[in-house]
Chains A and B, each alone.
Chain A
């Protein structure tokens, strides 16, 4: 590929200082790229660092190591440069009610971004166009309404219109539908896919929901304790997962049928105490069952950290990678 990806994350680390001086390695060396017109799902459980990574991509967190590159150039952490950047890269949050000011009309909510960015030209046609694209038609009917006067699904459409009004190139959507009812969820996901087809926008969707990934994503990256542990096309990853963590996650979602359940014990581990070796080994079914020992890799699982590597048996040209000593 000669053309650079729209967005590139190179070996990004974000750390937080917690209580008692402990350092949380929230994002611990992530490489990721989002292509033009691509939908990438970043999947993981709470505490895995996916929201921190999204914030780093938006320039809201400054990596202590590594860099975020947009159209081939690293982000510049200066107020004016970041403001320009955020015109191209917009964020959608989980809860549309929290994202909207209850005292602002829908028109004002959508126009706000235009004003912050000091976009020249007539404002009203832009607002109307954005609302229409977000499926709120006729847009004029919604101008004077307040958020509480429309349904939850319509509120999320208003949030999407507010992001799209600036004609961004990348949308970072953090759990965009998890607070919505199932039937509404499908409608919003359809809208997002439609935007990709119509405008060529790229979407990075941060979610815990693997069914959502199957519904809209071209590629999936699975994050565990600050690292991407597996990445590939949606079909590769969800039809033939190779990392034991991805396999376990898939086995417990009711949307995936016919897999024996592998329930991992304990909860999301602590980023202030990242285990040595493969960071997943304390919960890994391969280690617990003795399979890792049989394969002769247990010592490496416990002692040797590892990067993503191509999985064996993948088709030529495949970019399916996993960070597991048993893979590749």
Chain B
């Protein structure tokens, strides 16, 4: 408690945080005064040593990490708890969603999923003119950015080509906001070429949307569906993920004597400890926190048994290079066929382990493998299975080197392709890259165009101009700017060869 008080005082008096941001950090500190969910000594040691990690989710998980409500429930039936009738007009439908979002918790305290918006809103658009639709979406978008200022908040559109999807893309390019983040679910069979072309133009203008390979995701999940949320996590709709823990593969490789030792001893050992960490956190959420007594369950927005658990991995690049060194091989990850094949083998082993290890209180009784995109506090550990920043090969070689991993990471994997500005004159090149990536098994396609004001930090967006303002002590109304600013300082990312930023986010106050 003695060391906590000065920290609480720093939070309360921090000139760069607004009152809501201070309240959020204070709540985190309070949660962390409680004792951790029970862990055996080996798991606890691995957690303390940073070999496995709980993403600073807090000591007492009283809400799932990610919640993906089925918003069609409240749009069709209204809500007794919220005293809302079923909406009839588009304005009523948008108003209902705006209210609903404030009931959806997540690890950030803000909703990470705001729905498959075109499918949700299309039934209300029959009598709405194009101009009216544009105006209503524009106000909706402004509201989202100003009241839920967190770039992890994620909207989905597609896979069909429709006027709501097109209007959202148009508004998103016009407003150039960091929030909401946006994913287009793309299916070559049902999305039009034109929709993909519009998306490519948007990427050139504001680095959004991210494009998801819908047929692969649809096959992974079930008829109820899935959503892409936060930093490109694919999760069950009407459910979500109880927790995300991750394993630092570099740390595991460094505790191995050679490649065989890694596969036979260290990797299986630490993988099992991560399952134990995950299970203990899930147990607290499901059996002690009382979260699932929420009206969200009672009214059918979410179902308790549709919450999976995300089994994260990162620092694949450093792990492979460390094993290459142990074996006396020069080839580096991302560039050398042997090194790349070793990485693919590790991913296959991870996927097999996750598929065979039961997890209780978890969707389908198994966790889902996830290529985790980093925390701002990470040093010398490349996110997920990505190639270290600043050293990436050309975009085609980049995609080909990483594509074989994608089949294994069912709850999400993303690579950020940074394209130099010449692509502005040639959006068709972007479309072709995306098609090539999907044909090679990519689950997600994300591109950054150099020198756009909106910059991707792992998966979320920040504005370069906001970072400059934040660092001059002006504060920022978006929570993610502080995180992005940390990534900028830790990594010099904005100066890098075009510019990619690692690292998810760090929800604790330092």
Partners in one complex: no
B-binding residues in A (CB < 8 A): none
